[in-house]
Every structure is written in C-alpha cells, then in structure tokens.
Amino acid sequence: MRSPIFFTGLLLCVAISTSAASSARQIARPAKRSYDTHSYYVLEHDPTLDVSVQDCADALGAEVVERVGELYDHWLLRSQKIVSDNNAEIDTEDAVLSAYSRLLQDHGLHKRDPLSLAIKHVARQVPRQRVKRATPPASIDDSDSQSLARDIAQRLGIADPLFQDQWHLVNEDFPEHMVNATPLWDMGITGEGIISCLVDDGLDYESEDLAENFDAAGSHDFNDHVNLPKPMLFDDHHGTRCAGQIAAVKNAVCGVGIAYKSKVAGVRILSGPITDVDEAAALNYAYQNTSIYSCSWGPSDDGRSMEEPSLLIQKAMLNGVQNGRNGKGSVFVFASGNGASAGDQCNFDGYTNSIYSVTVSSIDYKGEHPYYSEGCAANMVSTYSSGSNHNKQIVTTDIGKDKCTRSHGGTSAAAPNAVGIFALALQVRPDLSWRDIQYLCVRTAQIVNPGDNDWELTAMGQPYSYKYGFGRLDAYDFVIAARDWEPVKPQAWIEASPLQLRGGTMDADGNFAGGEGLGKHGVESTLEITRAMIEENNFEVLEHVTVRLWANHSRRGDVEVMLTSPNGIRSVLAEKRKGDKDKNGFPGWRFMSVKHWGENPLGKWTLKVSDQNENDESGTFVGWSMSLWGSAKDASKAKQYTLKSSDELPIPFPPPNPTPIPDSTAVVPSTTKSYQKPTVVSSTEPGEIDIASSTAQLTTAEHSSEAVEGNGMDDNTRFLLALAGSAFSILLLCGAAFLVVRQMRWNRAARQGSYTPVAGGEEVRMHLLEHDTERPVSASTRQSDVIYDAEEEAPIMGVASGQIGFHSEFLQDDELGSSGDLPLYSDEPSAAQASREDAEGPRRSSSSSKS
Ligand SMILES: *[C@@H]1O[C@H](CO)[C@@H](O)[C@H](O)[C@H]1NC(C)=O
Ligand SMILES: *[C@@H]1O[C@H](CO)[C@@H](O)[C@H](O)[C@H]1NC(C)=O
C-alpha cells in the first residue's frame, strides 16, 4: 500500500500542473469526498509569500486535496476523522483548527512568522442541504388540441407531441400570457451556441429529449463525485425538468425548450448535503463556456430562516460575474422562493438578495400571482409557472428515456423560463454582460394585473411590485431590445460608512449592546449621499441598493424595515413574519432593493425600523450601512469590487477597519487608488452622533483618506491616496458644475416619467401577506390544504422535530420532506405524498409518458 504522502504529493502535482496550464486548460475534475472518514477544511493561502500550500497543510496536520473550483488562492484540505468502533465520530477537539489557533497565537509571540502569514484563513467545511423550489403536484386533465399551437408547430416543423400543451409557449386561452418565444424561433433565434447550467439534482442526459443538447464538459456530480450528473435518487427529477424547459430538443419526444437549440449542462449538488467548497466550485463550473447558471433552490422557504451564502460562495459568485464568460460575467438566475404562503420573503434569502443574481418569481396561466411565489424588493422579474389552475402547470421533459411531465411548477419552474429567454438573447448578443442582462430585465418587463395594489411607480416612472418585480418577461421584447442594446459601462459603487444609533455595538459572536429602542412607530435614521460622494466614486446611474442592518430583537419576525429614497420612493425590505421567532435579530444582515433602479441617489436616505407587534418581545435599532451599486461615469477609471472578510455574517458593528487586502484576482491594474470607504462618521465617539432626533449625519468624503490612512497602510498606498486626494479636489470643481447640469436633467427625466411620489402615511405594505385575491378559490387538493393550514398558524414547518436548531434547517427540511409532515417546498411528488395517496385512494397521475 502506498503512503498517504504519495497521494497527497500526486494530487498536489496534478493540481499545480493543471493550474499552470493557463486559460485553455481543461477543467480539473474534483476529487471524490469521503465525509464519513475525513473532515474537510478550506485554506485561504497567500501565494505571494515563500510558503507553499503543502507547507501550510503540513503545519495544520492536514493533506491537500485540490484547489477550490475557480478560486485561485483557496485550497481544500482534509484530515482523517477519529471514529469509534461503531463508526460514530468521536467528539474530540478539532486537531486542524487547534493547530491553526496555536499558529495564530505563536504568531503573536514571534512577529511575522511567514507560515501563519501565508495561512490567511482556515475554516471547517460542513455539508449542508439546499432546498428545491417546486410546488406540490395536482390533478391533470388532458387538454384539447390547440389551434394556434398547431399552426406554429406546422410552420416550424415541431413534431413534439406535447408542444400543444405547453401553454407557457403558446397560451390559447390567455394569449397575452406566454413566454412569447415563437416569433423569435421564426427568426431563427433558438439559443444556438449558448450553454446554460442547471445547478440542481442531476440532469438525465440519456433522455431522448435532452441527449442531443447535453453539454458533458460543463457537467459534474458533486454529490456522488463522478463526472456525469445522472439522477440517482427517486426524486431526482427536478434538474431534468428544468433543463427540458430550456433546451428540450425539437424532436418527437415531449415538448420543446424555449431555446431548443441551446445546450444544457448539469451540475449535481442537491441530492445530498454538500460543503461550501463544492457549492463554490459548482457555481463556477466550466464558467468560461457556460453562460447562465439556473438555480431553483436556496435556503428553506419556511418563513423563519434567514440564511446567506458563506463568504466562500459569495467569492465564487463575485468571481463568476468578474471573470466568467471571458469577463462578460456569469448570469446567475435564482428562483425567488415558494414560501409566500408561509409569510416568507425573498429578502431573507442571501442568494436572491445578491446583486449578482437575477431573482425570478412566478406568475400563472392567467398572469396572476400564485399563492406560493415570494416577493421582496430584490425581486427583479416574473415569468410563467404553476398557479391557481392545477391543470396548467409546466409541461416538460422528465427523467427516463422518453418520459414527460405535466406537473412541474413553483418558482423552480419560473427561473428556467427566464434562463431560456436569456439564452435566446445571448445567441444574438454574446457580448452582453451580466449587468446588461439585468438592465434588459428592468427595461423590457411588462406589467401584469395592473389592478394589483402592490404596484407602485419608481422614480423613473416605471411600475414595480414586490410580487412581480418589474413585471413579466417577454422573450420577444427582451431579445429585440438586446439586439440593439448599448452595453452599459463597468460597475461602480458608493459604500456609505455604517451609522450607529445610541452607541450601538455588536461583536463577532452576535452580542448586541446599545441602540435605540424600537416601537410601533419605529426609529428612523438618515444617511446622506452627497455630490462629492457620487463624484469621488465615479458613480453615474444607480442600479441596486444594499442595506446592512444591525438590530437586536427577541422575536425577529416582529421587525419591519423600510428604506425611503431622497425622492420619496419606498422599499419595504422586511415585512413582519409571523413564523420567525428567532432571537438573534439582524447581525448585519444585507437587504437588497432593485426598486431604486435609475433613480437619482443624491440626498437623504432614511431607514425606518419598527416593531410591529407590541408585546413583551422587544428590540433595538443598533446601526446600518448602505451601498449603492451602479455604473461608472468614467469607464477607464472603473475598479473591481473585492470581498472583505466582513462580508460574512455575523458582522461586528461597527465593523473592524478594513485592512487593504492584496487583490490577486483583480483584472484591472491597481493604478487607481485602492478601494476605500467614501465616508466616515463625523466623530469617532459614538456618543457624539446626533441621536436626539434619531438622525445621524455623515460628513462628506474629505475625511476618508485620513481615516483609511491611520490604518496601517503601506507607503505606496499612502502615496496613491495623496495623489487621489489632489485629483479629487480638481474633480470636485469640475464635478460640481457637471452635477448641476445632471441634476437638472434628472429632474426633467423624473417629470417626464410621470413620477408620482408615494402618498404619505405610516405604512407602505408589501401586500405579501394579503392572499385573499390570489388564493386559488377551488383549493381542493390535499397539498393546498396543508399549505393553508400552515399559513394560519405560526409554527410553519419542522416544528414537529423541534429539537433541531436553527442552523440545521437544511437537513431538517430534507428529512421532513421524506417523512411527509409538511412537504411545503419539497419537490413533487414526494414519497410520502405518494404513499399517502396510495393509502387513501386512487393515485393521481402526476406524469405521463409519451407512449
Ligand atoms: C470550452 O469550449 C472550447 C471550444 O469549444 C473547448 O475546446 C473546451 O474544451 C471547452 N471547455 C470546457 C470546460 O467545456
Ligand atoms: C437585546 O436587547 C435586550 C434588551 O434590549 C437585551 O436584554 C439582550 O441581551 C440583547 N440581546 C443581545 C443578543 O445582545
């Protein structure tokens, strides 16, 4: 038997030679994991020091497995678990983490130990389970054959037997409600040359409806650690169904995909718990050739969870938009979530909240809001899926040689429809960036249900709704607009320093102190964006707004959060959640809003935090910060954002002063000054902030250089800052003149856009919880009853197994899905449902095969 050292060395050689083979390299297939016998760690390594990854691993007593996906300085390590006779892991101190903390301590004693400097971070990897976003099944009626669909089929030679039932492609009853891709097919736009990746539970590449369009090179199975993403579990049909929506082949099997000549790859991660390392690798898998990542999953939609991707996964998403698709950026598409009836909102999900993802919600056959589809201020667009009419779910490919299904649904099925539309656009304009795709969503989405009181006008005069985002995607309008689209300038951002209220603080363990006590009428805090900040940050057109909130509350679900822009546009960031009893408040949680897209950001932004349940449960508003994301005014001065360790929860407040992180991945050379906070709080003494009026003011940007300078920068950076300082003074003069003109233009634009300020008053509700109009009237199926029961009472799901804590949500839900307690968001039909149906009578057919 060969020694483990031999294998380690071998792996390392393979890894190094692979990475050395530069951009044209083949993707290194990830090694098999064995969570039973080994513990896994991620090592963040500093390659600029003369200490190899192997040396670091040796010092930690671990072996090197491989590089983490496409994250250059991150390495997967492992060490053997100590297991007892009956295979249970013996609960001992974690040897690797202990070695790491000893190194850190030693480092304090012997200054500048290169070993501990080279090890920037070590974290243990905990496998977690993500939750699919399909809806429960429903009964099926065979529809009559349709005439409009028949005409199109004849014209385009579509022989797929279920094409006429794919109402999302051709809707005979409500022709204004369909994806509207068929006119593009007539023009020969079918997604040719574009690869989308289903990050899901597998993809049945042996299905005759998918084989021809399957991209094996971009596929991998991170659950079973093999190359091809074969669905293996009984309910591994989710990814295959989503893939069919995008790229089901035009042939004699089932129906067709929206982009039926595009390719689909499958990356399997949902068929068991996976680690952050694997999720990070999955989201960057084959990211030069793959254009779009279709993600119909996320943290549990139970109305209680608040989960964000870990820093490693955030890095992978940032890496994707910055370096994927040869720098045009990976397009990430996330389903908004199926928890609306449980009071869930997509602003409590860190994936849908990410500015790097297009968040997609559902509308149904009639263009109505389905009871399950989550809304929030991060919701960008909506498209078709299941809803009130149970005969009108999504008809698509299923697992099996020639199997089809008529019962695909949930926001799970909305996201792939958006992916199909984006694939069509990228065929026409492969040069469009990830942000161009988002702009096209904002600009071309169309209002549905105009009578719904969830619609409000943005400052640009565009209707926006938490439920529908900017509205329904129309494939034809999207692609035609894409054809002539002028690519937007690179990204720029303004990061306003955190504000504390009444000396509020929070440490890294999540302990809050201070802050302003919340009441029904709420506490407001105001932060000003000045002309100088806009100039200083080379900022032009506003896109996303992110807000971090530090708030302590003994029942988080009682808290409501609302952001009001200088133009009076309001974003409800959190509406109260009946089921959320969490006691840990908001430890720097990041909310996102797209509702301010295109708005002039100049002026005072107000965050109001209120307690909507006056009882024994109470809390405090401790502090907040805000970032504006948009386009750069001067493209040649654009920078690339880098993540800081303070981008991971819980975030101490006020956050530690950012130390400049050497940025090895940045493509833009750092000839411009290093990234810095545009503002600082006027005083270092929290007590001096004006809290009498609950309003804290910021000073303008002039102070920033000093503030950062005092923070251990090298001379080089100091010089650059000084240089930037003088350049800034000149800019300020030019900028002032420029902004006067700009302001006049903005004002005019706002007027022309028939902008009506939202009427005053206490509450602007999200209407997410008002289901009376959306609720399917004939809610006769058992599954629906379960959902409505869940809606009435606060303990929504998983309460039966109450001993499982908040942080094991993913595993918990998975277990519940198969134990059948409340299969609210598990994929359908679950085994439990099936067996219940078997026990209670004739089982509805939830899928039909071709022949
Ligand atoms: C990417 O596409 C190129 C050109 O078709 C091909 O040579 C290469 O193998 C592909 N790489 C992957 C990882 O799919
Ligand atoms: C939150 O605030 C309450 C009262 O203001 C306090 O008793 C509690 O300790 C705080 N919680 C945390 C986690 O600091």
From the list 238, 390, 408, 553, the catalytic residue is 238
Q: Looking at the domain assignment, is residue 212 inside a domain?
A: yes
Q: How far apart are CA 790 and CA 632, in angstroms?
A: 46
Mean pLDDT of 373-398: 94
Give the ligand with the smallest distance to the CA of 621. 2
Domain count, the chain: 3
Lowest-confidence pick of 25-34, 133-142, 353-362: 133-142
Res. 239: pLDDT tops 50 = yes
Quick one: 429 and 514 in the same domain? no
State the closest ligand 1 atom to the C-alpha of 218, by its place in the atom list counted from 1: 14
Specify whether the backbone of 744 is left (phi greater than 0), alpha (psi in -120 to 50) or beta.
alpha
The residue whose CB lies within 8 Å of the most ligand 2 atoms, and thus the one to mutate among 505, 507, 554, is: 554
Task: Identify the domain boundary among 483, 514, 533.
Answer: 483
Res. 686: pLDDT tops 60 = no
State the closest ligand 1 atom to the C-alpha of 215, by its place in the atom list counted from 1: 14
Residues whose CB is less than 8 angstroms from the CB of residue 649 and which lie 6 or more positions away in sequence, other chains included: 308, 587, 588, 589
| Most confident of the ranges 100-104, 291-295, 494-498 | 291-295
- Give the residue whose CA is nearest to atom 14 of ligand 2: 512
Quick one: 426 and 341 in the same domain? yes
Ligand 1 and 218: CB distance under 6 A = yes
Quick one: 185 and 87 in the same domain? no
Q: How far apart are CA 734 and CA 534, in angstroms?
A: 13
pLDDT of residue 29: 86
Mean pLDDT of 158-176: 95
Question: Where residue 109 falls among pLDDT bands split at 50, 70, 90?
Answer: low
pLDDT of residue 816: 27
Whether residue 94 lies in the annotated active site: no
Res. 788: pLDDT tops 50 = no
Q: Looking at the domain assignment, is residue 795 inside a domain?
A: no
Q: Looking at the domain assignment, is residue 340 inside a domain?
A: yes
Distances (CA, A) of 693 to 488, 501, 524, 525, 527: 40, 11, 9, 9, 13
Q: Which residues constitute the domain of residue 57?
A: 25-125
Quick one: 437 and 514 in the same domain? no
Ligand 1 and 217: CB distance under 6 A = yes
CATH number, position 633: 2.60.120.260
pLDDT of residue 427: 98
Question: Where residue 391 falls among pLDDT bands split at 50, 70, 90?
Answer: confident
Res. 200: pLDDT tops 70 = yes
CA of 378 to the centre of ligand 2 (A): 29
- Give the residue whose CA is nearest to atom 12 of ligand 1: 217
Task: Pick 774 or 183 by higher pLDDT.
Answer: 183
Mean pLDDT of 446-460: 96
CA of 559 to the centre of ligand 2 (A): 15
Res. 513: pLDDT tops 50 = yes
pLDDT of residue 611: 95
Res. 605: pLDDT tops 80 = yes
CA of 619 to the centre of ligand 2 (A): 7
Quick one: 538 and 471 in the same domain? no
Q: Which residues line ligand 2 (CB under 6 A)?
A: 511-512, 552, 620
Task: Identify the domain boundary among 452, 483, 514.
Answer: 483
Ligand 1 and 286: CB distance under 6 A = yes
pLDDT of residue 110: 63
* % of residues, the chain, pLDDT over 70: 70
pLDDT of residue 175: 93
From the list 412, 525, 704, 848, the catalytic residue is 412
Helix axes 809-819, 831-840, angle to 10 degrees: 20
Res. 559: pLDDT tops 90 = yes
Give the ligand with the smallest distance to the CA of 326. 1
Q: What are phi and psi of 301, to 5 degrees?
A: -100, 45
Whether residue 848 lies in the annotated active site: no
C-beta of residue 813 within 8 angstroms of C-beta of residue 302: yes
- Whether omega before 650 lies within 30 degrees of 0, making that bond cis, reads yes
Give the ligand with the smallest distance to the CA of 218. 1
Res. 847: pLDDT tops 50 = no
Question: Where residue 108 falls among pLDDT bands split at 50, 70, 90?
Answer: low
Q: In what order do the strands lie in the sheet with 195-200?
A: 220-221, 263-268, 195-200, 290-295, 331-335, 357-363, 381-384
- Give the residue whose CA is nearest to atom 1 of ligand 2: 552
Quick one: 384 and 291 in the same domain? yes
pLDDT of residue 654: 81
Task: Pick 286 or 703 by higher pLDDT.
Answer: 286
Q: Looking at the domain assignment, is residue 178 inside a domain?
A: yes
Mean pLDDT of 445-463: 96
CA of 287 to the centre of ligand 1 (A): 10
Quick one: 472 and 511 in the same domain? no
Quick one: 348 and 420 in the same domain? yes
pLDDT of residue 687: 30
C-beta of residue 217 within 8 angstroms of C-beta of residue 285: no
83-98 per-position pLDDT tens digit = 776 666 666 778 999 9
Quick one: 265 and 392 in the same domain? yes
C-beta of residue 255 within 8 angstroms of C-beta of residue 159: no
Give the ligand with the smallest distance to the CA of 26. 1
What's the DSSP call for residue 246? H
pLDDT of residue 25: 53
Return the number of other C-beta atoms located less than 10 Å from residue 675's C-beta.
20
CATH number, position 472: 3.40.50.200
Lowest-confidence pick of 70-79, 117-126, 594-603, 675-684: 675-684
Ligand 1 and 195: CB distance under 6 A = no
Q: Looking at the domain assignment, is residue 170 inside a domain?
A: yes
CA of 278 to the centre of ligand 1 (A): 21
Quick one: 331 and 408 in the same domain? yes
Q: How far apart are CA 46 and CA 707, in angstroms?
A: 26
Mean pLDDT of 305-311: 94
Residues whose CB is less than 8 angstroms from the CB of residue 91 and which lie 6 or more positions away in sequence, other chains included: none
What sign results for the dihedral spanned by CA atoms 682, 688, 693, 696?
A: positive
Q: How far apart are CA 259 and CA 421, in angstroms?
A: 7
Tell how far CA 730 is from the center of its chain: 39
pLDDT of residue 26: 63
Q: The pTM is what?
A: 0.74
CA of 515 to the centre of ligand 2 (A): 10
| Averaged confidence pLDDT in the chain | 78
C-beta of residue 217 within 8 angstroms of C-beta of residue 195: no
Q: Looking at the domain assignment, is residue 10 inside a domain?
A: no
Q: What are phi and psi of 502, to 5 degrees?
A: 45, 50
pLDDT of residue 146: 60
Res. 669: pLDDT tops 60 = no
The residue whose CB lies within 8 Å of the most ligand 2 atoms, and thus the one to mutate among 516, 552, 622, is: 552
CA of 326 to the centre of ligand 1 (A): 12
Quick one: 506 and 392 in the same domain? no
State the closest ligand 1 atom to the C-alpha of 26, by its place in the atom list counted from 1: 13
Quick one: 588 and 505 in the same domain? yes
Q: Looking at the domain assignment, is residue 740 inside a domain?
A: no
- Give the residue whose CA is nearest to atom 4 of ligand 2: 619
Whether residue 200 lies in the annotated active site: yes
Cα atoms in the 13 Å half-sphere on the side-chain side of 484: 5
Task: Identify the domain boundary among 640, 667, 702.
Answer: 702
Q: Looking at the domain assignment, is residue 814 inside a domain?
A: no
CA of 616 to the centre of ligand 2 (A): 13
420-443 per-position pLDDT tens digit = 999 999 999 999 999 999 999 999
Ligand 1 and 27: CB distance under 6 A = yes
pLDDT of residue 771: 33
